Amino acid sequence: MAISKENTRPESMVRITTPELAQAFIDEQIEAVRSQVGDGKVLLALSGGVDSSVCAALISKAIGRNLICVHVNHGLLRKGEPEQVCEVFGKEFDAELIYVDAVDRFLDKLAGVDEPERKRKIIGAEFIDVFAEEAKKLEGVEFLGQGTIYPDILESDGVKAHHNVGGLPEDLNFQLVEPVKFLYKDEVRVVGKQLGLPDNMVYRQPFPGPGLGVRCVGAITRDRLEALREADAIVREEIGKMEQVPWQYFCAIPDFQSTGIKDGKRYMGWAVVIRAVNTVDAVTASVPEIPFEMLCRMRDRIIETVPGVNRVLWDISEKPVATIEWE
């Protein structure tokens, strides 16, 4: 499928590698957004990922509270992420933020579902339904902000349905506002840094659209999901201290239990699997060395503080044959 001319990165566009180039891009896009939107309102689904966050920050700089951000907490985000989105965009940027607590709604729909693709479809469809419901409550919104970046266009001919709000009902007829659609991921980060976004948002690791839903392997239960969230926070904190930080690092919890001993009694508990990889293109991935002392420290912290966990494993499988994610 050919990429349309309007979705082709201009040949004269300079790679954004410095704060000065980032500021020039920001100034240019502020004027472009103001020219396109005028006094209109822009609605944006704000996940907290780098693409949507940079898009939101840039549009906010252009039109202030005429940007309406909707952050849907589906219960599958990492520890502290909903709070950070509310702090950054509800207080530090002049955007109107709508926070939707949809945790019970999502987890009830996912109860008993163990097939990975079904989980993905449920999460995606429910997100669209929640976002559409919030959009219909608003008046005077004609524009939809999207954090589409250039690799999305190259891979999907301009349709980014996985992270952004593809598939909205036809009665929500928005014009798209995509200020970062000609940027590569590294450029988006430079722009985000220049916009004043916090480092842990700008340099946020790749995170699957279904979130922890595909790292809580099999049918999701609330107690196992919370254990995963707590263990993942420990893994990210510890591995983040390495001098050479891996490209991606996280953990998963498989849907099985094994025997442990606590207070002299045998009991059944979950295993946490630590996963760290390096990759250039995500087609192949290698496993970096993690100091054994660090692995032991993560093991001790997880087993001592995360309820229900009695084993910590280290996944040293490379891609191929293993995929980066477990589901």
Tell me what pLDDT residue 164 has.
44
Q: Do 286 and 188 share a structural domain?
A: no
Q: How many domains does the structure of the chain reveal?
A: 2
In a domain, 5, yes or no: no
Domain span including residue 296? 215-315
Q: Quick one: tokens of 195?
A: 């916009």
In a domain, 322, yes or no: no
- pLDDT averaged per 10 residues, the chain (length 327): 66 91 97 96 93 96 95 96 92 88 97 96 95 93 93 64 53 88 94 95 89 96 97 97 94 96 93 95 91 98 97 97 94
Cα 32 from Cα 156, distance rounded (Å): 24
Q: Quick one: tokens of 323?
A: 């995929």
Q: Do 261 and 194 share a structural domain?
A: no
In a domain, 8, yes or no: no
Q: Do 121 and 69 share a structural domain?
A: yes
Cα 299 from Cα 221, distance rounded (Å): 22
Q: Do 178 and 225 share a structural domain?
A: no
Is residue 46 packed enough to be buried (19+ CB in 10 Å), middle (13-18) or exposed (0-12)? buried
Q: Do 225 and 177 share a structural domain?
A: no
Question: Which domain-ending residue is among 133, 167, 202?
Answer: 202
Tell me what pLDDT residue 195 has.
96
Residue type, 106: F
In a domain, 290, yes or no: yes
Tell me what pLDDT residue 90 has.
84
Tell me what pLDDT residue 162 has.
39
Q: Do 234 and 197 share a structural domain?
A: no
Tell me what pLDDT residue 167 has.
61
Cα 212 from Cα 234, distance rounded (Å): 15
Instruction: Tell me the CATH number at 193.
Output: 3.40.50.620
Q: Do 118 and 238 share a structural domain?
A: no
DSSP string, 40-106: -EEEEE--SSHHHHHHHHHHHHHHGGGEEEEEEE-S-SPTTHHHHHHHIIIIIS--EEEEEE-HHHH
In a domain, 18, yes or no: yes
Contact 164, 146 (CB under 8 A): yes
